[in-house]
Amino acid sequence: MPAVSKGDGMRGLAVFISDIRNCKSKEAEIKRINKELANIRSKFKGDKALDGYSKKKYVCKLLFIFLLGHDIDFGHMEAVNLLSSNRYTEKQIGYLFISVLVNSNSELIRLINNAIKNDLASRNPTFMGLALHCIANVGSREMAEAFAGEIPKILVAGDTMDSVKQSAALCLLRLYRTSPDLVPMGDWTSRVVHLLNDQHLGVVTAATSLITTLAQKNPEEFKTSVSLAVSRLSRIVTSASTDLQDYTYYFVPAPWLSVKLLRLLQCYPPPEDPAVRGRLTECLETILNKAQEPPKSKKVQHSNAKNAVLFEAISLIIHHDSEPNLLVRACNQLGQFLQHRETNLRYLALESMCTLASSEFSHEAVKTHIETVINALKTERDVSVRQRAVDLLYAMCDRSNAQQIVAEMLNYLETADYSIREEIVLKVAILAEKYAVDYTWYVDTILNLIRIAGDYVSEEVWYRVIQIVINRDDVQGYAAKTVFEALQAPACHENLVKVGGYILGEFGNLIAGDPRSSPLIQFNLLHSKFHLCSVPTRALLLSTYIKFVNLFPEIKTTIQDVLRSDSQLKNADVELQQRAVEYLRLSTIASTDILATVLEEMPPFPERESSILAKLKKKKGPGTVTDLEEIKKERSSDMNGSAEPATVVVSLKSTPSPSADLLGLGAAPATNSAPPPSSSGNLLVDVFSDSPSAVAPLAPGSDDNFARFVCKNNGVLFENQLLQIGLKSEFRQNLGRMFIFYGNKTSTQFLNFTPTVICSDDLQSNILKCTMLDGGAQVQQVVNIECVSDFMEAPILNIQFRYGGTFQNLSVKLPITLNKFFQPTEMSSQDFFQRWKQLSNPKQEVQNIFKAKHPMDAEITKAKIIGFGSALLEEVDPNPANFVGAGIIHTKTTQIGCLLRLEPNLQAQSTEEGKRLSPSEQLVLESQVVAV
């Protein structure tokens, strides 16, 4: 058959497809396909050599038959032969067949690789594009082994055409995602970054996708991309829609490239170069300003593109968490979307505001939208949007609005979708405990929770209320009275019976003096629920009955009659039968003293992290690095429960030196010779390894991160290509608690993962030692702190582990500084300067003069002084430009009053002056960090 023109549509293929469509039954279709397969097989096996057009046609028919769901076991060699053709259409069909049908283990893979290498070396951009597309479509490990070293050369070669560069960048991205270990990092990595400056925006778009993925695993090698990305982004957002005509989408210039550049910048912290940082801030402000402009088109494509760039810019602002003005503006912009008619925009706004609520700069701004969020909870039709509204209420909750939010969530719970009820129950339980000023409110809330959604109240929730009631004497009587009243309802949920049985068994004596709740009435009330309960609840009630024998001897006979009944002693359930027999025998033969000893009150539970919080984290999914922002929102409080998180107890002997004295909160002081015993059920290991590795020097950049924590308690302390360390902490007087989160950023396990807290030679610390930290997973460590006396040196956190057979050892400073134990104190101008003059001893005053690194913005400076811990005293200093603060440092041994003045000199330098009652320069050094 003679060669045909490029425009020929392969009529034989069209006829075959038409025949298939006209088949009336499956049998007719199979018959027609088998006939065609026999014809193709005979053509391929015939002695007469087929020309390229015929091969292409028959290969196309085989491909169509395969797509119909039939197996193809021949024709592969003919498809490979098409790769050597010089005609585009024939080569295209050959590559298409290989991409779809050829297995990576095929014997033909070597021939295919040779054909691809020939096309890559041909310098024909069309053929090179086909070869690169085939490599990316197959994406197998064998392809990566064969071409991972060649494609980077094509990408950075000066004579490569733009279309080929695009294909090469995306092909390399595909290979890196499937086989990252086979893509070598080399000289090309520095050259590929400069593709961000390429004139062709298609090349820039493809290169940005590649660099973003590479930078997530190798941030140091690609950190030069930050300035180039900011420069390119600046040119895009400041350009008119007519400047980038080929890449303008409904009046939005290069929206996809803008989104990719903003995502690339989220791989890094804020730029250190003031010029780059300022330019990036201008870009973000411009994007926020454009969002306020009237739309240039009413079509949905315009708003979608515009909002895509806006939301990615807000994500970058949240990621940097360093510009208060931008964070507040972002919050206000998202607030406008909360009532938008587009459901997707409302969902995205709620989701982004959840993250904003964790920032110290924007938390208050988020709280201003509480009424809108509550209204969304009540009126929103889409369940996913309602769930995000619940998440946002949980994130914005603090002591000022806790009761309102908990009440609204309880109201919503009555009509909430079944799929999210358990999560709402957990959040209500956590918020009620975390922000309970009066624990009677907490008890009322949990009992109301059980009443409304008892089926969704997990064991962790009612265990928790029991633990709190037992640990707090002031609420035990109220809890007993409230539970007793709740049990009088005709229909009680079984979880309420469990709580009532436990609390009345422990504290029923506190309400027994009231005739309405006498011992016999309490017993009859509980026993009236007995036959309606499951076996575990009946077992708990039997334990309550034997507790009543000890608490109320006057009803001992009544209880013994119940235990002696056939329904108990001959119960089909072994557990109930055994309890009835043993409790009856115990009540019969034991003396009063023995009963009192055996059945004494439950001791207080040890303070640990709440098991409810652990369950919520588990329900939200396994801990990942990307969950760190979510965890920051969960502000820590005194919690009992789960043994899952480990606790590190740091103890130091009292010493006259001014170095740090840290004592385990609630733990007995330890000596150098004997570490405190590790309790079963937690993850502590009480010994160091026999041959501990030397502690590594401080990681690069850790000092800068340390300084950022002087006036804030939450954030990312350290991050490299392997590990992310996040912190959240709270301090009250001389006590503190710090949660440390370790996130594995790789897909490979960390073996022998061992973080250790090191303070001084006198320090003795327990270490968290995990056999492994799974790829993408996260573990938590808790450090309890007590400031015994003033100190200068911060503790060191040393982390050692094995990654890919290589030993890793790094150290960072834990941001535990003296100002964390600062309690603000208000005073008048007269009192301030009277006390200032009284501190005339040279050892009571420290002064420091330093240059400010940034403009002394008044509002930002005030916020930093408040974050530093002292009270900001307004209109105290005669010079309105000065900033004045006062507070008290709380230690175990003493309380130290501190006065602070910050005197900006706009023409020269800033002066920091501080006075206190004992000699130490630490506070002034730390406040200098704040001021700059």
Binding residues: 11-12, 43, 53, 57-61
Residue 396's alpha-carbon distances to 215, 350, 674, 747, in angstroms, are 33, 11, 44, 33
Name every residue whose Cβ is closer than 8 Å to that of residue 445 and which is 6 or more positions away in sequence: 406, 410, 428, 432
SS3 content of the chain, % helix, strand, coil (to 5): 55, 15, 30
d(CA 348, CA 351): 5
459's tokens: 């064991």
Q: How far is residue 658's CA from residue 789's CA, in Å, rounded to a whole number?
A: 7
Biggest alpha carbon–alpha carbon distance for the chain: 113
Phi first, then psi: give them for residue 660, nearest 5 degrees. -65, 135
Other C-beta atoms closer than 10 Å to the C-beta of 884 total 24
Q: Where are the alpha helices (DSSP H) in 488-534?
A: 494-507, 519-527
Distance, first Cα to last Cα, the chain: 82
- Report the interhelical angle of 556-564 vs 519-527 (nearest 10°): 20
Please name the residues in contact with 594: beta carbons below 8 A apart, sequence gap of 6 or more. Answer: none
Taking residue 493's Cβ as centre, other Cβ atoms within 10 Å add up to 17
C-alpha span between 269 and 599 (Å, rounded): 58
| 650 C-beta neighbours (distance < 10 Å), count | 26
**Which residues have a Cβ under 8 Å from the Cβ of 887 and sit 6 or more positions away?**
822, 823, 824, 825, 869, 870, 871, 897, 898, 900
Residue reference for tokens 């119960």: 571
Tell me if residue 339 falls in helix, strand or coil.
coil
Residue 294 carries which DSSP code? P
Describe the crossing of helices 255-265 and 201-217 by its angle, rounded to 10 degrees.
20
CA distance 558 to 342: 66
Q: 811-823 burial by CB neighbour count: b if 16+ within 10 A, else e?
A: bbbbbbbbbbbbb
Q: Are 119 and 135 in contact (CB under 8 A)?
A: no
* CB within 8 Å of 857: residues ≥ 6 apart: none
Spatial neighbors of 591 by CB under 8 A, at least 6 apart, are none
- Output the six-digit token pair for 708: 């950022």
634: its two tokens: 């969960």
In whole angstroms, give the CA distance from residue 442 to residue 429. Answer: 9
Give the Cα separation of 823 and 732 in Å (integer).
8
What is the C-alpha to C-alpha distance for residues 607 and 628, in angstroms, rounded to an integer?
24
Beta strand segments in 351-510, E: none
Q: Under 8 Å CB-to-CB from 289, ≥6 apart: which residues?
A: none
Buried b (16+ CB within 10 A) or exposed e, 514-544: eeebbbebbbebbeebbeebeeebbbbbbbb
Q: In 3-state terms, what secondary structure has residue 289?
A: helix
In this structure, how many other beta carbons lie within 10 angstroms of the beta carbon of residue 623?
A: 22
Task: Please compute Rg for the chain using Cα positions.
Answer: 35
Name the DSSP letter for residue 765. Answer: E
Three-class SS of residue 785?
A: strand
Nearest to 427 by CA among 448, 410, 444: 410
